[in-house]
Structure formats: C-alpha cells, structure tokens
Structure 1
Amino acid sequence: DLCAGEMEEGNHSEVTEFILSGLTDRPELQVPLFVVFLLIYGITLVGNGGMILLIRIDPRLHTPMYFFLRNLSFCDLCYSSTISPKMLLNFFAERKSISYTACAVQMYLFVSFADIECLLAGVCAVGLVDSMIHTFCTFQLSFCSSNIISHFFCDIPQLLALSCSDTHINEIVMFAFIGCILVSSFVTVLLSYFYIISTILQIRSAEGQHKAFSTCTFHLTAVVIFYGIQLFIYLRPISSYSMDMDKIVSVFYTLVIPMLNPLIYSLRNTEVKDALRKVMNKL
C-alpha cells in the first residue's frame, strides 16, 4: 500500500468514532473557555464576512490587492468554521465524540483551507490535491488500540500517533507535501517583504517610512506566527510530539490568526476604512 506500510490487504479500521479530549478536562474551565472561543469565532465571522461583503460592494476596492484580501478572508472564514462549531459544542458535551467519517471530512477541509491560505487562489488546486492525499493516507490506517484523540479537532499528527499501523510512509508523505508547500510559500512571502522593505527605505518622508514600517511589521508578524507554528507542528517526528503543548500552539494558527487577519491586513488600510465609513453612513 502506498500510504500504510504494513497493513494487511482488506484490513479495515475497527474504530467507528473518535473521542476528542479537547483543550482541558477541568469542569470549571469549560464555561470560561466556551465564552472566549465563542467571542473569537464571532469576531472571525463578522470580521472576515464583513471584509468579503465590503470588497464586493465598493467598486474602489475591485483591484488585485483586494482580490487577494477577499480570498484570504474567505479562507480564514472557512478555515475557522471547520473547527470552531464542533469545538464549542464539545465544551458542554458529556461525550465528546466525532464519527469516523466526520473526522475524515474535518481533516480534509482543514488541510484544504490551510494549504489554500498558504498558496491562495492562484494554485488552490494544489491545496485540494494535497488534502485529499493526506486524508486518504491517514484513513487507510488501522485504529485498534484507542479512539481518543488528544486534541480539539482531527489533525494529522494526532491521528498518526493514535494508529496501530506502521505510519512511516505517512510521515514521509506529510513531511514531503507539507514541507514543500509551507517552506516554498514562506520563502516567497519573505522575499516579497524584503522587496517591500527595500521600497520603504526609499521613502524620503520620515513619517511615511514610519507608517509603512508599522503596517509592514504587523503583516510580517502575522505571517511569521502562521507559518512558524505550522512548521513547528508538522515538520517534527511523531515520536517527539507533546500533545498538550501542541493543543495550545494550534489554537493560535487555527482560531486566533483567522480572527486577527482582517484587522491586520485590512482595517489598518485607509481605503478600507473609507469604504467602511461610507457603508456605515448609509445605514
């Protein structure tokens, strides 16, 4: 088998569902965490949904840059929505289960939108193919010893750690595909920022330089956090994973970054502020 090194022919998983352990099992933290992540998800929906609508209705924003921002907002909206609803429900669920099929679908959608966010619409087919390969390979494995996923959603490393099959080939596939996508896109983004900074240094006005550097710093910080966390999580051997630390780290790039992106990339932009002010005045 291409994906599972030592699976017997015709052998199927005995697991029909998984149990998501969530961020914590402490009862006193369930309500506060629910409120925090409901607020984060709400801001993500309003921020990204509003940005998509604003760019669509204002003709002044029909430019290539805002086409990029609209796609980024769409990815962030979908990216967060593959995880947040189930996560929020599980804060009050006695049994935090997810069906085998739902877990596969969640992982496929999550990897799809994560890849597309890295590569964006120009090569979105790569993200869809990559997510299909990871999902297919992962769910060819056997899960026979336990069905408890030590995470708040179905992610590749946690499922590989849970499997009782040989996951060596799966790890190679994960490192190869995710490594190529993350590293190549990260290097491309850093090169673009190098040219942006070079251009900023040519601005003669000190005030203009300060404003440009301020905006660029926020953008670059978001990029480094997004890519840095994913490189940390996915480009390590499965044996070195610390599940508790990975849960906390995953919160930032799966839930917090999609919430912050509209603020960082758009609401610091004068044209977007003017368009938003114009819409608000009409209401």
Structure 2
Amino acid sequence: MLILWLTTVAMLWCAEARAAVPGCESQSVYQPALAPLREPAQPPGDVSVILVHGKNGSPLAALFNTAAAALAQRGYSVIRPLLPWAIKWIGGEWVYRWDGTQCEGLNYLADLVAAERERGMRVVMMGHSMGGMHSLLYASKAGHGLEAIVAIAPGHMLPLSRSVLDMTAGEVSRARAKVAAGLGDEPGVYATYYGQLWPLQTTPNIFLSYHDVTQTPDFNAVLPAVTLPWYLTIGTSDPNYGFYERAGVITKLPAGSPNTYKVTSGDHYTILDQVPDLFDTWFRSWSQVGAAPRNAEPVVVQQLLNQLLLE
C-alpha cells in the first residue's frame, strides 16, 4: 500500500503541469518511471542545478554521481531527472528506449524548474551532450525561469550537426512513411547517431520529434534566442572539438559578459570531472549563492520513491 501511495503521489506531482514550454502547449508532460534524484547542497543554498543527461545516458551514470556530489559540496542543490532519451532498465536489462517526444521532455523540465522556483530557489539548467542541446533549446523557449544555463559538449543541434542529419536521413524517411500510413504511434526500431548508428525502441512520432528538421527547432534560430547567461564548454579530446567554430555555434550565441565559451582538457565524458569547479568559478564571478529559503526542503516523496525503486 505504501508503494502504491507513493507512486500515485509522485505521478500526480509529475502530471500537474505548471507551465508548458512555448510551442509545446498541445503536448503533455513526460512522466518518467523514476522520480528525480536529489543531492542536497552542503551547506544549503538558494541555487538548484538541474543536471540533464545526454543521448542514451542516465541520471544514474557514475560520472553524473561524481559531478552531482561535487556540485552539492559547493553549495548547489542538484536535481537529476530521467528524460525520454535515457537508457532504461527494462525486464532485467538496459534498453535504448525513447518513450516521450521532445516537447514532452521540455514540458517536464519546465515543471521541474517551476517546482524549484516555488520552493524559493534560483535555477540553473546544466546539460551534457544531447542534454546540453536541450538546455540551450529550453533557454531559447522558456529561459525566463532560469538563472543561467550550462551546456557541456552539446550535440544533436540540427541542422548544424550534419553527421546526425546525414546518417539518420533514411530512418527519418522510414518514420515519415509510417506516420503517413497512420502508424505514427506504432512501436518499432529506429537508429540515432553518435559516433555510429544506435538502434532505439521507439515510435515514429517520438523519433521524428528529435530527428526531423521539419519538427525539431532549427538551431540557427535557437542559439541567438538564448538571452540569459550561458556557459558552453568542451574538451580538447572530444570528437566534437572544433565543431562549434566550424558550424558557427559560438558566433550565433549572444556575446557579452558573463557569457563564456571554455575549451578545456578531457574527452566527451571525462570533462564532467572538471565541470563543478569550472561552473562554480564562473557562476560566482557574476552572481552568488545565498542562504537557502525557509521552504526549500527536498521533496520527501520523491526521495522515498527512488529508494524503494532502486532497492
């Protein structure tokens, strides 16, 4: 009975949309199987960091555990949500299953931002890889709810990410044909691209929301619309190193202090080890972490539910 009650409360919390992202009003809010993981700030402060994982990533990944703990030790409350593009633990194995559209994921992030602001917190959205792309995308659409964004080695920025566009063109055509035949919600297997093609269990409608340039926003327009403070970083050993200059990503983003493009050491994943220090130094150079507001208590229901689900 306790598990049923906790699950019901958590689902109601997730389903209660506080503010849909502009352009996504007609779509629902993503409802993940796992409520957000939380690391309370040490000492408590008034800034929450929503840490958004990458393509086929997970909030449970070891590098995210380390980064979240390091951010918490620097005074930031950390929230790690499970997004539609995560790898999922299903039937005793890890499965690449995307189970929500891009808009549903953005609406879920909007709910998380609104919930933190209701607790009196200021909010930073920090995303890695495809999560970095979604941080930029969110900021361009609904960034008024954020203090700043941090994009860590962002990828999948269509149509600038030509390799993704070219390698998935056949998959997009196949998914479009399914939609035209009235089978847009039929489960199937479609491939996304990062380094190589990776098969996904998903539906045509979900797949196209991330891969079809007629549906997913054009980053030529997204980047100039990021009007709040931004910090973008990449490691010199990342395969995408140099891409941002070639594709004009940095020049499309608004210039001016405190906006920062930082090239550092590390690859696509080990860069996460450096991010807590890099972010903390940057953020405190133009802002500060104040005392935690009185009502900024963690959501106990979420913590209890996660503990039960992970045992």
Q: Please report the TM-score for the alignment, with normalisation by the length of structure 2.
A: 0.29
Task: Flag the structure with larger Rg.
Answer: 1
Bigger share in helix: 1
